[in-house]
Structure 1
Amino acid sequence: MQPSTIIFQFQDGQPPQTHVAASGESVLDVALNNGIQLQHNCGGVCGCSTCHIYVDKGMDDLPEISDKEEDFIDRAISPRINSRLACQCVLPNEQLEVVVTIPPQHFLGH
């Protein structure tokens, strides 16, 4: 089975980055394992909205959004219809290409 790929796009002007993702890894895991700065104040347990991303491709292949995740997305800065929390976007056991955009992050002095 071929691994999935995640293409990270950045709204702050950085060039896109493509990284391999293993089954069971979240978008947050892949970002952090590849040196991409993505806030995760709660430690990646769906307890805040700091790892908010936009899923531009592959949304239907990711786990369905939970009520808890939806509540936190409502608190995120500039939520959109394709908003997700990176910690909750866990890749299934199949070859996918997922494209995400990381919005400008607002550091809250932690």
Structure 2
Amino acid sequence: MKVVNITFKFADGTPDKIHTAVEGESVLDVALDNNIQLQHNCGGVCGCSTCHVYVEAGMDDLPEISDKEEDFIDRAVDPRLNSRLGCQCVIQGNEDIVVTIPEQDFLGH
């Protein structure tokens, strides 16, 4: 089973947190399992944009972005080229992942 580290960075200045993840887990799963606040209004089924994150490293070891995910990212606050939905960032490679969780002081889509 593949194991990687996920580094969570926070836009609000909270210190970085590093957690271990195994193949098949999503960034959202790891965040919630480790008491990291990451909104997920749809329950993690790619039905909203509230688990929006910026992938700073490890993008090549994540699944390709789907058209559905891309549509929801377009609705997120301040989308960027490295934007992904945490629920869709499923661990499948060996590269460590670094994500920044943007400010979450909104209701979301």
TM-score w.r.t. the length of structure 2 is: 0.95
Instruction: Show the counterpart of 1:17.
Output: 17
Instruction: Show the counterpart of 1:36.
Output: 36
1:61 is displaced (CA, Å) by: 1.0
Aligned-partner SS, 1:75: coil
TM-score w.r.t. the length of structure 1 is: 0.94
CA-atom RMSD in angstroms: 1.3
1:95 is displaced (CA, Å) by: 2.5
Q: Which runs of 5+ in 2 are unaligned?
A: none
Q: Which runs of 5+ in 1 are unaligned?
A: none
Aligned mates of 1:66, 1:36 — CA distance in 2: 25
Q: Percent identity?
A: 70
Instruction: Show the counterpart of 2:46.
Output: 46
Aligned mates of 1:61, 1:21 — CA distance in 2: 13
Give the 3 Å change call, closer, same or farther, for CA 45–3 of structure 1 in structure 2.
same
Letter matched to residue 77 of structure 2: I
Letter matched to residue 102 of structure 1: I
